[in-house]
Amino acid sequence: MLPTPKKFFLTCAAAEGKNHLTAFDNALLKARIGNVNIIRVSSILPPGTVYEPGLTIPPGSLVPTAYGYITSDVPGEIISAAVGVGFSKDTFGLIMEHAGKCLEEEARQKVENMLREAFAARDMSLSEIMIVSCTHQTEKIGCSLAAVPMWY
């Protein structure tokens, strides 16, 4: 069983590769999480977790990460990814992500709307939102990625 994370950061990147997997891997590298083993998690940021933008995670670590990504092999296609964290003053936070064939602002707006909806569904007070996003125009095979890695 993994311990509960105490730190997190938001990151996003876009990259090209020779195939879909290496485009994804190159985006992970640019996002500073390419040398760790990301474990996909859902939408809860543990209570008291501290934002640490310069966080360095040891290579090979198992890292709980909420993320969204999209790859495309259609030259000229616009792909975007966004991830957001909503904070409550009283309890845990929520994470939402979106990735799609859209402009960056659309991805950001979808994430914000989902955060607001998720807080309302839980009858929680939303005190702050942080969102990161990126967009990419595919050359050959591209990837847009947005993530919230969490650490101990």
Q: How far apart are CA 46 and CA 5, in angstroms?
A: 7
| pTM score | 0.96
Q: What is the pLDDT of residues 20-69, one digit of tens each?
A: 999 999 999 999 999 999 999 999 999 999 999 999 999 999 999 999 99
Phi, psi of 33 (to 5 degrees): -130, 25
Task: Specify if 2 maps to a domain.
Answer: no
Residue 30 located in a structural domain:
yes
Catalytic, out of 16, 43, 77, 88? 43
- Choosing from 26, 72, 97, 144, the catalytic residue is 97
43 is catalytic: yes
In a domain, 1, yes or no: no
Residue 23's domain comprises 7-151
The answer to whether residue 98 is domain-embedded is yes
> What are the tens digits of pLDDT across the range 10-22?
999 999 999 999 9
Q: Quick check: 90 pLDDT over 90? A: no
Q: Give the CATH number, domain containing residue 63.
A: 3.50.20.10
- To the query of whether residue 35 is one of the catalytic residues in this protein, the response is no
Closest-CA residue to 57 (of 89, 14, 9, 97)? 9
Q: Are 26 and 33 in contact (CB under 8 A)?
A: no
Cα distances (angstroms) measured from residue 94 to each of 59, 121, 123, 137:
26, 12, 13, 29
Count the helix, strand and coil residues of the chain and give each as a percent rounded to the nearest 5. 20, 45, 40
- Checking if the pLDDT of 143 tops 80, the result is yes
Checking if the pLDDT of 2 tops 90, the result is no
Give yes or no: 61 in active site.
no
Q: Which 8-state DSSP code applies to residue 22? A: H
Candidates 19, 35, 37, 127; catalytic one: 37
